Chain A
Amino acid sequence: MTVSPGGDQADGSWAAGDRDQEQLSFSALLEDSVEDLYENAPCGYLSTLMDGRIAKVNGTLLKWLGYRREELVGHKQFSDLLTIGGRLYHETHYSPLLRMQGEVSGIALELKAADGSRLPVLVTSTVKQDIDGEPLLIRTTLLDARDRRTYERELLRARQEAERDRERLQRLAATLQRTLLPPILQPVPGLDVAAHYHFASSDEVGGDFYDLFPPAAGRWAFFMGDVRGKGADAAVVTSLARYTLRAAAVSHPVPAMVLASLNTALSQASQEDEPRFCTVIFGLLTPQGEDGGFHVVMAGGGHPPAVLLRADGSADYVPTPGGQLVGVVPDAEFTTATVDLGPGDTLLLYTDGLTEARTPRTCERYGDEALLDFARTLAPVSAPGAVNALTELLDSFGEGLDDDTALLAMGVPSVSPRPG
């Protein structure tokens, strides 16, 4: 590129012209007096005495409010310009903060104009002190906040809507949950029954379920199960599992067959992207003659084993080994176990929320062994006694208990010693 001296000259003269222009506009800026800047600033200015009486106000604010200067200065207080709600806020928050801190900034208030219309503003005040440090007057800046407030109202409205939705969701979840659990357990003659459900979340329906009901006169059936996951999907499976188990219990008086029916129902309901399965223990109780007690036949499908707490103070798991998850494979196998519940014996069913909870001290899983040790310290115990003790245990886990947990205990009352 060739640069001619002429070109240079031309550039130089242009630059000189720019400088002149700049000089001119700069002097114009200097003539912008401080008074004018105050009067016509792009924000409202207001000075009040410490008691709130207006001592000075700029033109911008007068224009916004539609007042004449003499109507405000010496006649009105700053709080007179606010809505009544704003005045309450000013008295209870703004003014004390200003007194205590000497400054308050960015508070959203509404001004009342002379014609009654309202103007949202953001208000900032500082206290000017005299040379002795005594408060002299309050200087306040007001920014037009119409757009800002519209935006904030939108945010506030969205938050309120979200809160309402959350409440609705919680109500819905609670209602749905109630339909999935028996409201009260039916009394079984000669058997004490107690149950507890720990909800891990109030927003979602949990996946644990249990029930105790008479499929036919003189017989009782119970189940305890756990659907993987939470929420609406889990509720669908829970609901299906409950009704299938109840119906199957009526037609097949054999626990392994009841689980086979459930297995078929869940397999059929499963879709490729939505496998539907659960773990269950299902059992039948048959009363034993005149001495009291029950004969229990249970079938397990992948569920943690029940615990038998005996009258003699011992406690053991009742294993149902090899039982497969219900609903995963078409011809799943389920194992059966039998137990005789005599006076003073209690059978405990639970979901894995209990054994998988983290203990507060070690942060490790509570585990099967700890549960068995705990059961051994409890036995012999009544059904309500067992559920109460385990509920306390669950509470002691605090935040370590992060899953839904269900407990169901059935016990034969111990025979009271006959008076000798």
Chain B
Amino acid sequence: MDVRKRNRVSVTGREGGPVVMLAHGFECDQGLWRLVAPELEKHFQVVLFDHVGAGHSDVSAWSAERYSSLDAYAQDVIEICQELGPGPVNFVGHSVSAMIGVLAAVREPGLFERLVLLTPSPSYIDDGDYRGGFSEQDIDELLESLDSNYLGWSATMAPVIMGNPERPELGEELTNSFCRTDPEIARVFAKATFLSDNRADLAKVTVPTLIAESARDTIAPREVGAFVHAQIPGSELVTLDSTGHCPQLSAPEETAEAIIAFVQGP
């Protein structure tokens, strides 16, 4: 099996520099890193990839049984690291990929130099004293939104192709792939993302870890960031002055700075 093709792995940036691997979350595909990747490429060798089922990954490698738990995604990350080898990588995981990175680093700590967890949440569902922010019914509503909207994707894309003459970097290639996911795959990934509980895995992380949370994030609120920080021994926490769950889009400069400072740090 060709791991590079399966996950559409791309390697860019400074050859011989520290390797920084950027993992997209439940949201869309590796295109989500477009605004921070150029800055990171000045310092690092940047590895981008799509999770199986997302973007331009090899969809034939996807199956509902395999990809209904985050373990499969973590295994894929491990395989990409082994394929890239031999040195350890700095892994930046956004949203659910933060937890995928945690699982991979717990299983194979030798493959990881550092972890950057961008807007992580180990569990989205409220449980006793823990405030994940959501109930299972809320997740059902999300699944309903996914079901209501996949029909619209082609309609969403069409005007966009014509509508951005002033932003050529958002060309046809991007608009055709970005966020467009098979509804069945999106549903399985949504369940794996929002119904997983990885709180117990945090304490097992031995790799130096930075938690980068967004100041105003309804999906991973600040108390969740504080929880992750408290659970991972010796971790650092930085709060980005950004709104929303995707600081790499809403505050790309600041996000890139935080990653660079941590990867180059002592």
Contact status A97-B138, CB under 8 Å: no
Provide the residues of chain A in CB contact with B95, threshold 8 Å.
Answer: 92
Considering the complex, give the chain A residue whose CB is closest to the CB of B166: A133
- When chains A and B are docked, how far (Å) is the Cα of A281 from the Cα of B134? 64
Of the listed stretches B71-79, B142-150, B196-204, chain A binds: B142-150
A102-B28 in contact given A91-B219, A95-B246 (Cβ < 8 Å): no
Interface size on A, residues (CB 8 A): 32
Distance between Cα atoms of A87 and B133 in the complex (Å): 12
- Say whether A216 faces chain B, with CB atoms less than 8 Å apart: no
B160 in contact (CB, < 8 A)? yes
Query: Is A92 in contact with B219, judged by CB distance below 8 angstroms?
Result: yes
A48 to B141, CA, bound (A): 24
List, in ascending order, chain A residues with CB within 8 A of B174's CB. Answer: 100
**A39 to B191 Cα, complex, angstroms:** 41
**Per-position 1/0 for A33-68, Cβ under 8 A of B:** 000000000000000001110000000000000000
Q: Are B148 and A92 in contact (CB-based, < 8 A)? A: no
Cα distance, A97 to B244, chains bound together (Å): 13
CB of A103 within 8 A of CB of B145, answer no
Do A93 and B179 form a contact, CB below 8 Å, given A86-B141, A103-B159? yes
Q: Tell me if A152 counts as interface (CB < 8 A to partner B).
A: yes
How far does the alpha carbon of A97 sit from the alpha carbon of B249 in the complex, in Å? Answer: 10
Look across to chain A and name the residue whose beta carbon is closest to the beta carbon of B31.
A100
Q: Are A101 and B175 in contact (CB under 8 A)?
A: yes
A89 near B149 with CB under 8 A, answer yes
Residues of B within 8 A of A391 (CB): none
A106 to B28, CA, bound (A): 18
Task: Using known A-B contacts A79-B218, A100-B249, A105-B156, determine if residue A51 contacts B134 with beta carbons closer than 8 Å.
Answer: no
Give chain A residues whose Cβ lies under 8 Å from the Cβ of B67: none
How far, in whole Å, are A251 and B36 apart by their CA atoms in the complex? 82
Complex interface bits, A77-110 against B, C-beta within 8 A gives 1, otherwise 0: 0010001111111011101110111111111110
A100 to B175, CA, bound (A): 9
Query: Distance (Å) between the CB of A317 and the closest chain B CB?
Result: 39
Closest to A155 in B: B151
Asked if B27 is at the interface of the complex by the 8 Å CB criterion, the answer is yes
> Which residues does chain B contribute within 8 Å of A93, judged by CB atoms?
27-28, 149, 179
* In contact, B138 and A108 (Cβ under 8 angstroms): no
Instruction: List, in ascending order, chain B residues with CB within 8 A of A79's CB.
Output: 218
Which residues of B lie under 8 Å from residue A50 when comparing CB positions? 243, 250
- Given A79-B218, A156-B148, check contact A51 B138 (CB 8 Å): no
Q: How far is the CB of B215 from chain A (nearest CB, A)?
A: 10
Contacts of B142 in A (CB 8 A): 85, 88-89
When each residue 142-161 of chain A gets 1 if its CB lies under 8 Å from chain B and 0 otherwise, what string results?
00000001001000100000
A88 and B250 CA atoms in complex are apart in Å by 17
CB < 8 Å neighbour of A85 from B32, B138, B164, B250? B138
Question: Which residues in A have their C-beta under 8 angstroms from that of B218?
Answer: 79, 87, 91
**Does the CB pair A103–B160 fall under 8 Å?**
yes
A108 near B145: Cβ-Cβ < 8 Å = yes
Chain A residues, CB < 8 A from B140: 85
Structural contact, A96 and B28, CB atoms closer than 8 A: yes
Which residue of chain B has its CB nearest to the CB of A52?
B243
- B139 on interface, CB distance cutoff 8 Å: yes
Q: How many A-B residue pairs lie within 8 Å, measured between CB atoms?
A: 112
Contact A108 B152 (CB under 8 A): yes
B167, A102: Cβ atoms under 8 Å? Answer: yes
Q: Which B residue's beta carbon lies closest to that of A129?
A: B166
A96 and B152 contacting across the interface, CB-CB below 8 Å:
no
**How far is it, in angstroms, between the C-alpha of A87 and the C-alpha of B166 when the chains are bound?**
29
Q: Which residues of A contact B250 (CB under 8 A)?
A: 50-51, 99
Within the complex, the shortest CB–CB distance from B33 to chain A, in Å, comes to: 11
Q: Which B-chain residue is minimally distant from A159 (CB atoms)? A: B147
Contacts known (A79-B218, A88-B134, A92-B27); A105 close to B146, Cβ less than 8 A: no
Please tell me if B155 contacts chain A, counting CB pairs below 8 Å.
yes
Chain B 179-204 residues near chain A, CB threshold 8 A? 179, 194
Bound: A109/B28 CA distance, A = 19
Q: With a CB–CB cut-off of 8 A, which chain A residues contact B216?
A: 51
B6 interface residue (CB < 8 Å to A)? no
Q: Does B17 contact A (CB under 8 A)?
A: no
Cα distance A149–B151 in the bound complex, in angstroms: 13
Identify the interface centre among A84, A96, A102: most chain B CB within 10 Å of its CB: A96
State whether A108 touches B148 (Cβ < 8 A).
Answer: yes
Q: B170's contact among A87, A102, A109, by CB below 8 Å, is which?
A: A102
Complex-state Cα separation, A100 to B146, whole angstroms: 19
How distant is the Cα of A199 from the Cα of B246 in the complex, in angstroms?
A: 47
Please give the distance in Å from B178's CB to the nearest CB on chain A. Answer: 6
Min distance, Cβ B237 to any Cβ of chain A, angstroms: 21
Contacts of B135 in A (CB 8 A): 84
Within the complex, the shortest CB–CB distance from A103 to chain B, in Å, comes to 5
Q: Is the CB of B156 within 8 A of A99?
A: no
Q: Mark B14-38, 1 if CB is under 8 A from A, else 0.
A: 0000000000011110011010000
Chain A residues with Cβ below 8 Å from B25 are 92
Q: Which of A12-41 contact B (CB under 8 A)?
A: none
B110 within 8 A of A: no
Q: Are A96 and B163 in contact (CB under 8 A)?
A: no
Cβ of B245 within 8 Å of any chain A Cβ, yes or no, is yes
Give the residues in chain A near B27, CB-CB below 8 Å.
Answer: 92-93, 96
Q: How far is the CA of A52 from the CA of B217 in the complex (A)?
A: 11
Name 20 interchain pairs, CB-CB below 8 A, sorted by A.
A50-B243, A50-B250, A52-B243, A88-B134, A88-B219, A89-B142, A91-B218, A91-B245, A92-B25, A92-B219, A95-B245, A96-B28, A96-B246, A100-B178, A101-B170, A102-B170, A104-B156, A105-B155, A107-B156, A108-B145
9 other A-B residue contacts (CB within 8 Å) besides A85-B140, A93-B179: A51-B244, A85-B145, A88-B134, A91-B218, A92-B27, A100-B170, A101-B164, A101-B178, A109-B145
Which 4 interchain pairs have the tightest Cβ spacing?
Answer: A85-B141, A51-B243, A89-B145, A99-B249
